Structure 1
Amino acid sequence: MNILMTTADHLMIDRRILQEAQTLVEQGHQVTLLAGFECPQRESYSHNGIKIERFMFDWGDSRFSALARRYNLQPGSSTYNRAWRLFRAWANRVASLNSFEQFILDRMTEYQVDVLHVHDFPMLAPAVELAKMRKVPLIYDAHELYYAQVQLPEATQRKYKKKESRLIKQVDAAITVNPYIAKLMAERYAVTAPHVIMNAAPKVPVASTSLLRERFGLAPDDNILLYQGWISDNRGIERIVEAAANFAANTYLVLVGYGAFEDTLKKLVMERNLGDRVFFYGGVPSDDLHELTCDADLGIIPYHGVDENNYFCSPNKLFEFAVAELPFISNDLPFLHDIVATYGNGLLADLNSAEAIASAVNQLFGDSAKMAALKDGAKKAREAINWDVEGEKLLNIYQRVTG
């Protein structure tokens, strides 16, 4: 079966996407992943049997190009430029696809497809069009409430929510990342609750490593607090950095990941003279993350509910901590609360100020019995929330969709 996947990811492809594709490849399917349409350059390569294609958006629109040829409009002329402005206004406000979505559809039509599987809202409109054209099943994988991102203007949020509500009714199966977001989508869009496939990590052996300690000159008995993932604002990461000033003498913060906010954090470290307390590892491929995670003593999820996605989060790092048998500390958010209540692998604390973070981290590292109990909970979580379990859910969805 030819499965065509698409995602807007143009920096690093989400581990969830690669795992889903890999699971399908292992079942004998051909998976082509169109990963990013605003990449620095056109690329084509294979990763673990997955054919991956990456594209550069040309800022044009094939529909307008056809019109320009038909009416002999010369590029650069005033008539051409005026027509292009009018066309763009039509595409953005009236047409079912804007120019970027049309570019995605054009690229998608270049491939054979028996099942179409698209990740997140920007891919949904062109996917609905292609599914109609090719008469193939469409699976919509919503990694979040896309419209609810705090950085989007309110008018844009309303527009995206209305559009997603209309389009999701045209898919053959919808998937999302946890029961809370599934419930919200069902209520707000008046649809059957999407299937839930969590962002679980593969259950690989727990590694005995000292990669972080060797990199930063830390001793075996030093305590490492680990943040990993995308480094951006609105995640509370700056509070962890500030908290490091009040960590106990043998406790250090390591950040693994990258993002535009990293430079701001590095400046903060320099201003607060925390260079011997806070270390930046940089970004690593998903396949290399597990060994680094295994060298830490405690993970941290500092999200603090700035929007609904943040409040109802079930981030990749939660599951990467689980398969590494690493306890974590976080704010008391709904899904994280459920995980801690079920497995006992984390501490829910006040992480809304640097002082509170430092106090919670120091108290936990100073309580060996509590740390041992959390470690036992992390071992239980490893057995229950991993990709072996979640991958089977994906295959069951495909079985239902394809008959």
Structure 2
Amino acid sequence: MNENLIVLMIVYNQIQYDARVIRAAETIANLGVKVKVISCNSDFQYKNEKFESVVFVSRAKHQGRLVHFWWQCLRYILKHRKNILLLYVHDYYMPLIGGLYYIFTKRKWVYDAHELIFYHKNDKVSCRNKFFLYLEKMFVKSASLVVTANEERRKLMSYVYKLKKTIYILNVASVKRDNIDQSSKRNVIVYQGYLSSERGVDFFINNHLQVDEKYTLKLIGGGPQLERYKARVNKLKLENRVVFTGLLNQKRLYEESQDSKIGIITYPLNDLNNYYCSPNKIFEYAKMKIPMIVTKQPFLMALIRKYHMGEVLDMEKGESEYKKIIDKIDSNYLYYIERMDDFLNDYSADRELEKLKVAILDILE
């Protein structure tokens, strides 16, 4: 293979925080192909021995930043089109770029649909979401492969768009499966992700008053409501029991989480994307031997109930339900821990990523 040829990946995100993109790039690089990943406003200090990180900087605000990023990507693609073996774009911001690449070159491209952006007929949907759904609908059929995050999403996208070539790759974390020293566990309840009311962060802060005082709530992530949450913690006089870390890269995320005793995985049930979510946190927590509290998404409930790795929380039942679950996990801690190996044996990052290798090799033949 010509060593000047590359697989070009594009993501409208900061690469150091996007584990799915990193795993995909590393997997394709392991095929012996040179991989470059274009991202937006990423940390220039981020390095990965498997692929080259190309950072486009945009100081524009709001929608202007995305439009500027699109323009930067199109210029780069047109300039280097002779060296692009395959274009691989991530998330719903990028089907426009994949589709235009196909129109200009008639070459193959891959769409990794991180999210499911369909909506029910009677749902209230913003103009923004309608716009991105329109772009996806317009261009997705020209993709040589569409990758989704679970089987339910794959079936939906295949049916709605009449797609011929689709696979799903679960967000199985590539965290090393170490022997966890249970004595190192601290009385920490950890939450990872976007800090918002939709995700139930208000619920967990407000109800932390009812939880045994030995527990600290650690909130890992960011969002526009961060300062409001800090003020709320101060008002409740929980400064010594609630910790905010801000956004963390993958290495620091693991370091900050691994000693926690309980992990929270929470999503709203207000749209198809969240209803059929497939978060990598369930795999990360299992590898770190952290029992989980999850909300009522089908994928999460099925795994928790099959493998007994935690408990399902119904927020509508209020603070008493939350406290009862924490007390139950606390009293039966080893019961949950001992069942995680069965789950990890059934769900392997290597097996999931092998599906991507096979699909990419098929395209490149």
> TM-score if structure 2 supplies the norm length?
0.86
The answer for the alignment partner of 2:85 in structure 1 is 114
AA of the residue aligned to 2:252: D
The answer for the alignment partner of 2:228 in structure 1 is 264
The answer for the alignment partner of 2:334 in structure 1 is 372
AA of the residue aligned to 1:177: A
Range 277-286 or range 170-179, more displaced = 277-286
Q: Distance in 2 between matches of 1:13 and 1:109?
A: 28
1:397 partnered with 2:359: yes
SS of 1:204 mapped into structure 2: coil
Q: Distance in 1 between matches of 2:139 and 2:272?
A: 21
Residues 114-193 of structure 1 correspond to what in structure 2 (within 5 A)? 114-146=85-117, 153-192=125-164
Q: CA deviation at 1:356?
A: 4.3
SS of 1:5 mapped into structure 2: strand
AA of the residue aligned to 2:73: I
**CA contact under 8 A between 1:350 and 1:357: conserved in structure 2?**
yes
Cα separation, partners in 2 of 1:187 and 1:342, compared to 1, 3 Å: same
Q: Distance in 2 between matches of 1:35 and 1:148?
A: 28
Q: CA deviation at 1:40?
A: 8.4
**CA contact under 8 A between 2:56 and 2:69: conserved in structure 1?**
no
Q: CA deviation at 1:9?
A: 0.3
**CA contact under 8 A between 2:147 and 2:166: conserved in structure 1?**
yes
Q: CA deviation at 1:272?
A: 0.9
Cα separation, partners in 2 of 1:222 and 1:58, compared to 1, 3 Å: closer
Q: Distance in 2 between matches of 1:332 and 1:263?
A: 28
Instruction: Give me the identity figure in percent.
Output: 25
AA of the residue aligned to 1:108: I
Cα separation, partners in 2 of 1:187 and 1:221, compared to 1, 3 Å: closer
Q: CA deviation at 1:361?
A: 3.4
**CA contact under 8 A between 1:145 and 1:181: conserved in structure 2?**
yes
Q: Distance in 1 between matches of 2:185 and 2:354?
A: 39
Q: Distance in 2 between matches of 1:305 and 1:285?
A: 27
Q: Distance in 2 between matches of 1:27 and 1:350?
A: 44
Q: Distance in 2 between matches of 1:381 and 1:284?
A: 27
Q: CA deviation at 1:167?
A: 1.2
1:291 partnered with 2:255: yes
Q: Distance in 2 between matches of 1:312 and 1:245?
A: 31
**CA contact under 8 A between 1:223 and 1:365: conserved in structure 2?**
no
Q: Distance in 1 between matches of 2:110 and 2:42?
A: 28
**CA contact under 8 A between 2:70 and 2:97: conserved in structure 1?**
yes
Q: CA deviation at 1:201?
A: 0.7
Q: CA deviation at 1:233?
A: 3.7
Q: CA deviation at 1:46?
A: 4.0
Q: Distance in 2 between matches of 1:221 and 1:4?
A: 41
**CA contact under 8 A between 2:93 and 2:132: conserved in structure 1?**
no
The answer for the alignment partner of 1:6 in structure 2 is 10
**CA contact under 8 A between 1:239 and 1:353: conserved in structure 2?**
no
The answer for the alignment partner of 1:53 in structure 2 is 54
Range 386-395 or range 200-209, more displaced = 200-209
**CA contact under 8 A between 1:33 and 1:50: conserved in structure 2?**
yes
RMSD: 2.9
SS of 1:52 mapped into structure 2: strand
The answer for the alignment partner of 2:319 in structure 1 is 355
AA of the residue aligned to 1:270: N
| Unmatched 5+ stretches in structure 2 | 61-65
Tell which structure's C-alpha radius of gyration is larger. Answer: 1
Q: Distance in 2 between matches of 1:126 and 1:238?
A: 37
The answer for the alignment partner of 1:245 in structure 2 is 209
Q: CA deviation at 1:257?
A: 2.4
Cα separation, partners in 2 of 1:201 and 1:222, compared to 1, 3 Å: closer
Q: Distance in 2 between matches of 1:110 and 1:273?
A: 57
Q: CA deviation at 1:163?
A: 2.9
Please give the per-residue CA displacement for 1:231-278, whole angstroms capped at 9, x wherever unaligned: 234211121111110001322211122332222211111111111221
Please give the per-residue CA displacement for 1:23-77, whole angstroms capped at 9, x wherever unaligned: 22222211100112xx389x59742231111213487xxxxxxxxxxxxxxxxxx
Q: CA deviation at 1:360?
A: 3.4
SS of 2:338 mapped into structure 1: helix
Q: Distance in 1 between matches of 2:157 and 2:151?
A: 10
Q: Distance in 1 between matches of 2:228 and 2:291?
A: 28
Cα separation, partners in 2 of 1:362 and 1:102, compared to 1, 3 Å: closer
**CA contact under 8 A between 1:147 and 1:158: conserved in structure 2?**
no
Number of residues of Structure 1 aligned to a counterpart in Structure 2 = 352
Residues 268-347 of structure 1 correspond to what in structure 2 (within 5 A)? 268-347=232-311
Q: Distance in 1 between matches of 2:313 and 2:271?
A: 19
Q: Distance in 2 between matches of 1:388 and 1:356?
A: 40
Please give the per-residue CA displacement for 1:276-298, whole angstroms capped at 9, x wherever unaligned: 22112333210232233220111
Please give the per-residue CA displacement for 1:182-205, whole angstroms capped at 9, x wherever unaligned: 222123223247311011111403
The answer for the alignment partner of 2:63 in structure 1 is none
Corresponding residue to 1:388 among 350, 357, 361: 350
| Unmatched 5+ stretches in structure 1 | 60-96, 211-218
> TM-score if structure 1 supplies the norm length?
0.78
Cα separation, partners in 2 of 1:15 and 1:98, compared to 1, 3 Å: closer
The answer for the alignment partner of 1:28 in structure 2 is 32
Q: Distance in 2 between matches of 1:354 and 1:262?
A: 23
Q: Distance in 1 between matches of 2:242 and 2:318?
A: 14
Q: Distance in 2 between matches of 1:267 and 1:293?
A: 24
